[in-house]
């Protein structure tokens, strides 16, 4: 395998595992939000704001990983 193939494999792993982690994180957080709002409905508005903030941060971490993978894919120092 060439260095370019390793970079493509690394980019695929970064994006794939980042997406998997973001999906699992948001799913767990959404489940805990539903449990908490079912137990104490009066806190639903406060919890919803915090949940949406954390969902944005989780997605931001995934998007940063995609940006790093795209940087590796396009600015490959091992090419040629």
Contacts of 66 (CB under 8 A, 6+ apart): 14, 15, 18
Q: Which member of 59, 60, 63, 71 is catalytic? A: 59
- The rounded distance, in Å, linking the Cα atoms of 61 and 80 is 31
Secondary structure element (H or E) that encloses residue 18, with its range: helix 3-39
Q: Any catalytic annotation for residue 59?
A: yes
Active-site residues, by number, are: 59
């Amino acid at each position: 395998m060439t260095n370019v193939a390793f970079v493509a494999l690394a980019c695929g792993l970064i994006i794939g595992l980042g997406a998997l982690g973001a999906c699992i994180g948001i799913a767990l957080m959404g489940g805990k939000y539903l449990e908490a709002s079912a137990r104490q409905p009066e806190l639903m508005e406060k919890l919803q704001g915090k949940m949406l903030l954390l969902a944005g941060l989780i997605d931001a971490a995934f998007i940063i990983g995609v940006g790093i993978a795209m940087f590796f894919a396009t600015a490959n120092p091992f090419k040629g």
